[in-house]
Structure 1
């Protein structure tokens, strides 16, 4: 058996479950009853599409390189810059 050579130190344990529940409830209260996560996601996707639309050739090349490097999400269809 190993004896602790530091008797002035004590084990400390804290359960944050109740605080996490309180925090999540506060977030949902702040979002309000009319918060629609599906509509929020659709709006974000539309904003992303608009941000990367109508790129000139140089911008499109840079965009494609960033997608290929994994810096920006991309792929077929959704989230892809318009050609």
Structure 2
């Protein structure tokens, strides 16, 4: 932490690198050894496919419009 005065302004600096490293360590410790990030990503992809499956024609047209506009990722890119 650095606190210094310059003219009428006070500059305050705080280095969060140590805090961020500790936070990441604690997150990984909380997730435990059984956490499988690949399985989580595959599960999210499966959920995305399920969410947008079985759309009727109007819903599909809306979905396609949202993908074209960049609001939603294209199928397989979520």
Please tell me the TM-score bracket, short chain as reference: 0.7 to 0.9
Structure 2: gaps of 5 or more residues? 1-5
Q: How is 1:1-40 mapped onto 2 (pairs within 5 angstroms)?
A: 4-6=6-8, 9-40=9-40
Structure 1: gaps of 5 or more residues? none
Distance 1:14 1:50 in 2: 45
Task: Give the SS at the match of 1:12.
Answer: strand
Measured after TM superposition, the shift of residue 79 of structure 1 is 5.2
Relative CO higher for 1 or 2, CA cutoff 8 Å, sep ≥ 6? 1
Measured after TM superposition, the shift of residue 5 of structure 1 is 3.5
Once the two structures are overlaid, the 10-residue window that deviates more, 62-71 or 25-34, is 25-34
Runs of 4+ in 1 over 3 A off after TM superposition: none
- Residue in 2 that maps onto 1:49: 49
TM score, norm. by length of structure 1: 0.77
- Residue in 2 that maps onto 1:68: 68
- The count of residues paired between Structure 1 and Structure 2 equals 73
Structure number with greater Rg is 1
- Write 1 or 2 for the structure with the bigger share of strand: 2
